[in-house]
Structure formats: C-alpha cells, structure tokens
Amino acid sequence: MDLQKSKSEMLRKLLSESDSVSSALSLDDIKALLTV
C-alpha cells in the first residue's frame, strides 16, 4: 500500500536524520505510526 510505504519512508527518514531525533520519539509514538 502507498500509505504503508510512505509511513515506512517517513520513519526511516526520521531515524536516519539523527540519533537525537529518534531519541526524541518514544516507542509509543513509533508504535502508533506503525499501527494506525
């Protein structure tokens, strides 16, 4: 699905941009993105 793909890309972008960004994201936030 396009939506799922864009979510994965967004997550990957956030996580690869910097460790501080991924640290700012809580596991709950990531889980919410993946499950919505």
Overall number of domains in the chain: 1
**Phi-psi region at 12: left, alpha or beta (left = phi > 0; alpha = psi -120 to 50):** alpha
Q: What is the pLDDT of residue 3?
A: 78
- For residue 29, what are the domain limits? 2-35
pTM over 0.75: no
Q: Residue 36: pLDDT above 80?
A: no
* pLDDT tens column, 22-32: 566 677 777 78
